[in-house]
Every structure is written in structure tokens, then in C-alpha cells.
Amino acid sequence: MSKRNNLILFILTTGVFGIINTEMGVIGVLPLIAEHFGVSVSQAGLLVSFFALAVAISGPTLPLLFSGINRKKVLLLALGVFVVGNLVSIFATNFNVALIARVIPAFLHPVYISIALTAATSSVSQQEAPKAVSKIIMGVSAGMVIGVPITTFIANAGSLELAMTFFAVVNSVAFIATLLFVPSMPVTEKLSYGKQLSVLKKPILWLSIFAVIFINSAVFGVYSYLAEYLEKITNISGQALSLMLVLFGIASLVGNIVGGRVLSKNALKSVVSYPFVLGAVYIMLFLTGQFTGAMVIIVLAWGILFAVGNNISQYWITSAAPEAPEFANGLFLSVSNLGITIGATVGGLFISGMGIQYVVFGGLLFLVLSLVFILLRNTLYNSAKHRSTIRN
């Protein structure tokens, strides 16, 4: 991969980190937000849920609408709107204004990330594409698992406004770098909206969609309650808990590299193996989660698999619809968010009905379902390939 391509990928990854950090970073400061605006914590939680809802709505639609416009211009538009939204959040004195300042940029969240993923794929050979995509997804993982503690630290050490400033600075840096160093990316082969939407007729895509929904449900149905599990089952808190979460974050960054490499080497084997490997980690979590030493090893393995799951999800959907990359990446973002919502909800039901230790059962259930749809897609693909061979 050339130095120029590496620079472009780094800029795109920074932009992805800034956008995901804007989405997830407020999770750790919701009590401070509630106090700042004089609302309840549950009301402050609307900053998270409404953002996710906007992403879920725009995921399949806006990337499609912007698919014919020069990609650099769209990247700059998305980052610019996020910068403005961040600046409004810094100075907002009314909660409704702060909510609007988050929701409007959220609609462009899947637009930026889908284009970044498409640009990464098109910048290298088909064989190297998973490695390039893994660098972009590293920004997603970093925003999810590192952005939260960074934002929380800034808010606690400084102020809520300073944490919001951090969002604005990262997105501004990505905007300026994109403006200066990312070349014009005109769309050379514009696909009609109808042709892109026609991929929804493909059974293999729907099997992929359900597999990705269940993969993300399996991952986030347990990960969403990691901190509570560590506190109540492993009996660690305070700095030790923070350290464990940081270890998870570091492991997830490593996992992006691992995910890119295993998909480049043998994509199908990697996808089929994933439910078994993550399932083994969940079983170990259930059996030995009360031991701190074992939990350190589990958290490291879990963090790696967390990121590998993101890489697999993106690959599994886009490989089912390679003729409509932006639309496919938008679908990936939308169904991943749907999986997160389903997983967190079902995980909460297991906790309320059986206790925090049994949250892994929800994860294992979703892993079984994901494997079913992975194998169904593989069977359908092999059948189609066999028919094609006979015809030729």
C-alpha cells in the first residue's frame, strides 16, 4: 500500500473516530449532562437513543442519495455538519438545542462512514481490501471503547464544555486534513437508485443481513453490561475497573488488525469460525468470570473478537452486494445498530430474569442464530456456484 493511500486511510480513520466519538462519548458523561441542563439522566439518555435512531433511519437511505456526488465533497459536508453541531453543543444552554445539535449531524453519520469504507476498498486490490477496511473500522472501535473513557476523563478533570470541545477539535482536524490532503473522488460509474435498491432482491443479502444482526446482538448483548459484570461478578471497581475497560479497548484496536488479516487470508473460514470462538470466550466468562486473573485473559480475547466481529459484519454484507458499495455499507451500519438495540434489550431481560451472570446466555443464543444464517448463506452461494459451473 502506497504512502499516499496510507495517509488517506489515516485521515478517513480519524474522521470515523471523531464521528463515533461524538456518538458514544456522551455515554460516560450523561450524569454531568443531566446536571448541566437540569434534566433527569433518562432524559439525558435521549442524546444517545435519538442519535442511534437517526443513524438507523438514514443508514439505508442517505448513502444511496449521496452515491452519485463527488465523495470528497460529501465527506467534507458530513464533517462540516458535525463540527457545527459540536460547536453548538459547547455553548448550548437549553437541552432541546443540544439534542437538535446532535440529531442533525447523526443523519450524516452513515453517509461519512459508508463512503470512507468504500474509498478504503477502492484504494487497494481486492485481496488487500479487508486490511484497508480494518483500518477504517479501527476508528469505529476506537470511538466506541476509547472515546468514552477519554471524554469522561476530560469532563471530570476539566468541564463538560471542554469534553464537547474535544469532539469539535477531532472533527475539525479531520475536516482540514480531508480538505488539504484527500484528492477529489468523483464517481466514475454512477448507479441508478433503482439498480442499487435491486440488490434487496438477492436472498444472499437478506441471509447476510440477519447473520449480521445476530452477530451484533451477540456481541453487544453481553458487552453492554461488561462494567456491571466486572463489578458484581468479578468484584472489581474503581481504578481496577477502569483498567479492565482500557485493556478491552486496546485489545479491540489489535483486533482490527487481526480481523483484516484473517479475512484477507480465508474470509469464509473466518466468518464460520467466529460464532464458535466467541462462544468459547462466553462459556469461559460464565465459568471463570469470578476470578480476576482469568478475567484479564478473557477481556483481552473478548476485546480482540469485538473488533473482529465489526470487520466480519462489514465484509459479510458488502460481499453480498458488491455492485452497490455505498448502499451496502449503509445497510451494514443500519443493521449493526439494530443488532446492538436487540442485543442490549435481550441482555437486559436475561439480567432482570436470571441475574447478571446469565447475560452470556443471551449472547450464546444469538451466536447460534448467527451461525444458522451464515451456513444458510454459504449453502445458497455454493448451490448458485454449482449451477453456474454446470451451465458453463
For the stretch 225-249, pLDDT in tens is: 887 788 889 988 777 877 887 888 8
> What pLDDT score was predicted for residue 237?
74
* pLDDT one-digit tens code per residue, 279-303: 999 999 999 989 999 999 999 999 9
- Cell numbers 443540544: residue: 98
Closest CA to 250 of 156, 146, 329: 146
The residue-averaged pLDDT of 188-203 equals 76
Do the beta carbons of residue 27 and residue 148 sit within 8 Å? yes
- Cell numbers 476508528: residue: 139
- Cell numbers 462512514: residue: 113
Contacts of 324 (CB under 8 A, 6+ apart): 67, 191, 195, 196, 199
> What pLDDT score was predicted for residue 94?
92
User: Cα-flanking dihedrals φ and ψ of residue 267, to 5°?
Assistant: -65, -50
Q: Which three cell numbers stand for residue 350?
A: 436475561
> What pLDDT score was predicted for residue 388?
57
**Hey, what's the torsion of the CAs at 312, 141, 113, 180, to 10 degrees?**
-130
Helix (H, G, I), strand (E, B) or coil at 162: helix
Report the mean per-residue pLDDT for the chain.
86
The residue-averaged pLDDT of 65-85 equals 92
pLDDT surpassing 60 at residue 389: no
Please report, for residues 41, 180, 275, 302, 390, the alpha-carbon distance to residue 271 in angstroms, rounded to integers and kept in the order given.
39, 38, 8, 16, 27
> What pLDDT score was predicted for residue 91?
93
Do the beta carbons of residue 67 and residue 331 sit within 8 Å? no
* Rounded Cα–Cα distance for residues 322 and 329 (Å): 10
* Rounded Cα–Cα distance for residues 20 and 307 (Å): 14
* pLDDT one-digit tens code per residue, 298-327: 999 999 999 899 889 989 998 888 888 778
Which helix (H) or strand (E) segment holds residue 388: the answer is: helix 359-391
Residue type at 172 in one-letter notation: S
Please report, for residues 64, 230, 374, the alpha-carbon distance to residue 51 in angstroms, rounded to integers and kept in the order given.
20, 28, 30
* Rounded Cα–Cα distance for residues 23 and 15 (Å): 13
Please report, for residues 137, 229, 279, 338, the alpha-carbon distance to residue 223 in angstroms, rounded to integers and kept in the order given.
18, 9, 13, 15
> What pLDDT score was predicted for residue 172?
97
pLDDT surpassing 80 at residue 224: no
> What pLDDT score was predicted for residue 329?
81
> What pLDDT score was predicted for residue 390?
60
Name the pLDDT band for 343 (thresholds 50, 70, 90): confident
Name the pLDDT band for 138 (thresholds 50, 70, 90): confident
The domains found in the chain, sorted by start residue, are 1-186 (1.20.1250.20), 193-392 (1.20.1250.20)
Do the beta carbons of residue 16 and residue 310 sit within 8 Å? no
Name the pLDDT band for 392 (thresholds 50, 70, 90): low
* Rounded Cα–Cα distance for residues 64 and 67 (Å): 5
Closest CA to 212 of 325, 109, 328: 328
* Rounded Cα–Cα distance for residues 279 and 361 (Å): 10
* Rounded Cα–Cα distance for residues 99 and 117 (Å): 28
Burial class (CB in 10 A: 0-12, 13-18, 19+), 117: buried
pLDDT surpassing 70 at residue 105: yes
The residue-averaged pLDDT of 183-208 equals 81
- Residue 46 CA, chain-centre distance (Å), reads 19
Name the pLDDT band for 191 (thresholds 50, 70, 90): low
User: Cα-flanking dihedrals φ and ψ of residue 353, to 5°?
Assistant: -90, -30
The residue-averaged pLDDT of 63-80 equals 90
